[in-house]
Structure 1
């Protein structure tokens, strides 16, 4: 039938909902190539898709995404940049003291 390319950010909330769709496409006879992070290679293969590992972009483990983002100097999720008055920002430390 058709050859289909599915591109998914390597984030659990993006990949897991797509797995039943990939399975349905494969079951319908389509050749499905999935471009995503290496963390999800087994799940994609189990759904019947062929994995194309990310070679460009960020093949990150989403379990460590918040720590990686903060190490790059970005605010943590939910932070409005109020410099500590909200309770979330008060736990932010200088990037030189973060442990990744």
Structure 2
């Protein structure tokens, strides 16, 4: 039997999603800073490279940072609201009886 999730309560869900959006805004700012640092270091030590290299690097660093922060934010959302504890994680006993 699946227990009731704390995210079923509209007030708790609104608070949890607001916290998730706050985490994502913060991580977006961190990502912008890291992309700027990466671009500065590439410009200083990279030598003569194409503008496409800078674009690909900025998109790669930005995408990886935002994806990782979104997934970790969802883990914090699930764990912090008690949603993880409400899931019934028991499996049936599937042992084969040996005669």
Q: Mark yes or no: TM-score above 0.5.
A: no
Larger radius of gyration: 2
TM-score (norm 1): 0.30
The structure with the largest helix share of the pair is 2
Higher relative contact order (CA 8 A, sep 6+): 2
The structure with the largest strand share of the pair is 1
